[in-house]
């Protein structure tokens, strides 16, 4: 195992994190906030540790899959551990477990929070809380690959270990090139939304905070009532557009930017993603009008916002859907298990996995009638390899097994069943708010400390899509 390269890469990741803290330090100094010391101390320690690790001498820059899995898992743990420093030192979140939970929620773009009064925090702390979203959305390892050309030889191992989706593909020949292109697209979408929200009437600060939560499909806001606090339909529609956009495969955006729009409407996953979104909007809209007397515009606006927010695993809210009819809640609950598209910033199972599962089920039914038939599974014109089909089936089983086991553990801590299963589903799917005790109008503060640690692990497992984390805990990985 190339231990030296693992340590060096983790050091580079920490140096990137220290650099990401600088804007928050600048905001604290500019606004004369007392929290500037929290960022100064945090940056000092993170730089010292990161620089020490980054100076590790390496004999080879070759990374195998074992190193890739370890770097990805340890990298995210390091980010959350050291990223919690500003919260703890400033006193914004004095408890380590709560601060670790909040930071992991930020970097994994989950959006679950233990904070009861967000608006009481300083702007520098709020900015750091949201910048963790922006970094985690595209992935800190992808950022490292984009910035450090020396890792180009083995970059694909790291790329595959971190990027969500059952199959990882490069849009350019080199991984470093792919990483830079993806971050350029990410930055372009970020700038576009900031400007759109500013034109719609938000302040620059509010525009940046909501944008970070949107493009990363994370959901952290600087308002206790989330997006509902602005009471601005234009802001809601802008956020819906960008949430939907960032729930799509970024490789398709790359092709569209180069003038090739055909993949956008030919991609089977995008078609399913669009169909699921439209179906959920229509069902919830009709239910709100008939069951609760909503006006057509209000019903449409709330249904489209919450459907897209939950499906893309963003977690923003414009209404307390705990008060909606049971049918609407049921639709949103089902969306929690679907997620966005592979290669997007969204969490969840991903639409492409359900496509493969549906096609595999259809094939099994056909083979019952024609046992000797050879029926390949296709997505568009592409034939899906059998090993990928098996991987998707295994992933689905593991996802449900982790969901059920974690739910049982949370209920053992005295939390009711609805709150428990939705809390696990919301953290494993990187969504944020759930139902009951952890609904959009409440938070995770009431969850016991052991429960928060378990849900923190669920966030990490969900963000790295199970296998990357489970492999690290496998004894086979550590054998020579």
**Which residue ranges make up the annotated binding site for K(+)?**
109-110, 218, 313-314, 430
* Residue that the structure tokens 């089977």 belong to: 268
What Å distances lie between residue 104 and 100, 159, 163, 278, 459, CA to CA? 6, 20, 17, 31, 7
| Helical (H) or strand (E) element with 379 | strand 378-379
How many whole angstroms separate alpha carbon 398 and alpha carbon 412? 21
How many whole angstroms separate alpha carbon 323 and alpha carbon 50? 47
Coil, helix or strand at residue 15: helix
How many whole angstroms separate alpha carbon 467 and alpha carbon 452? 22
End-to-end CA distance of the chain, in Å?
8
How many whole angstroms separate alpha carbon 137 and alpha carbon 273? 19
Q: Which residues share a beta bridge with 382?
A: 379
Residue 295's Cβ-count burial label (10 Å; 0-12, 13-18, 19+) is: exposed
Q: How many CA atoms lie within 13 A of 291 on its CB side?
A: 13
Q: Within 10 Å of residue 19's Cβ, how many Cβ atoms? A: 14
- Bind-site residues: 109-110, 218, 313-314, 430
CB 428 within 8 A of CB 442: no
DSSP string covering 197-231, please? HHHTT--HHHHHHHHHHHHTT----SSTTGGGGG-
What Å distances lie between residue 366 and 268, 354, 360, CA to CA? 21, 18, 10
CB 444 within 8 A of CB 112: yes
Q: Which residues share a beta bridge with 378?
A: 383
Nearest C-alpha neighbor of 23 from the set 105, 126, 121, 128: 128
Nearest C-alpha neighbor of 216 from the set 316, 346, 129: 346
Task: List all residues 6 or more positions away from 293 whose beta carbon is below 8 Å from its beta carbon.
Answer: none
What Å distances lie between residue 73 and 63, 68, 69, 151, 184, CA to CA? 15, 9, 6, 17, 25
Copy the structure tokens of residue 357: 């599962």
Copy the structure tokens of residue 150: 């020396």
């Amino acid at each position: 195992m190339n231990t030296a390269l693992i340590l060096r890469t983790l050091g580079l990741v920490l140096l990137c994190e220290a650099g990401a803290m600088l804007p928050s330090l600048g905001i604290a100094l500019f606004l004369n906030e007392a929290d500037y010391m929290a960022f100064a101390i945090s940056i000092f320690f993170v730089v010292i540790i990161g620089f020490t690790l980054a100076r590790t001498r390496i004999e080879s820059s070759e990374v195998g899959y074992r190193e890739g899995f370890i770097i990805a898992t340890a990298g995210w743990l390091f980010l959350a551990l050291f990223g919690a420093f500003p919260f703890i030192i400033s006193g914004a979140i004095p408890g380590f477990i709560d601060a670790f939970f909040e930071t992991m929620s930020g970097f994994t773009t989950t959006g679950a929070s233990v904070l009861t009064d967000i608006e009481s925090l300083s702007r520098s702390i709020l900015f750091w809380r949201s910048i963790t979203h922006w970094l985690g959305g595209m992935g800190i390892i992808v950022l490292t690959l984009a910035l450090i050309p020396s890792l180009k030889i083995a970059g694909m191992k790291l790329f595959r270990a971190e990027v969500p989706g059952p199959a990882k593909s490069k849009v350019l020949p080199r991984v470093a090139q792919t990483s830079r292109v993806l971050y350029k697209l990410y930055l372009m979408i970020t700038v576009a939304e900031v400007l759109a929200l500013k034109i719609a009437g938000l302040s620059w600060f509010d525009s940046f905070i909501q944008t970070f939560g949107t493009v990363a499909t994370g959901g952290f806001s600087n308002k206790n009532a989330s997006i509902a606090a602005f009471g601005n339909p234009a802001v809601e529609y802008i956020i819906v557009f960008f949430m939907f956009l960032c729930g799509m495969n970024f490789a398709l955006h790359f092709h569209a930017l180069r003038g090739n729009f055909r993949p956008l409407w030919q991609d089977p996953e995008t078609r399913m993603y669009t169909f699921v979104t439209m179906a959920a909007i229509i069902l919830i809209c009709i239910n709100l009008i008939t069951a609760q007397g909503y006006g057509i515009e209000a019903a449409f606006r709330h249904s489209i916002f919450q459907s897209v927010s939950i499906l893309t695993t963003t977690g923003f809210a414009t209404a307390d859907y705990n008060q909606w009819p049971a049918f609407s809640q049921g639709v949103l609950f089902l969306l929690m298990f679907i997620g966005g598209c592979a290669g997007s910033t969204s969490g969840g199972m991903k639409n492409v996995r359900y496509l493969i599962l549906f096609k595999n089920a259809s094939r099994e039914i056909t083979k019952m009638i024609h046992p000797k038939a050879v029926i390949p599974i296709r997505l568009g014109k592409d034939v899906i390899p059998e090993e990928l089909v098996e991987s998707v089936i295994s992933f689905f089983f593991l996802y449900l097994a982790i969901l059920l086991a974690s739910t049982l553990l949370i209920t053992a801590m005295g939390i009711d069943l609805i709150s428990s299963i939705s809390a696990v589903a919301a953290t494993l799917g990187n969504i944020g708010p759930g139902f009951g005790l952890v609904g959009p109008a409440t938070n995770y503060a009431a969850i016991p400390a052991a429960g928060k640690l378990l849900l923190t692990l669920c966030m990490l497992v969900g963000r790295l899509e199970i296998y990357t984390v489970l492999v690290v805990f496998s004894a086979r990985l550590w054998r020579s």
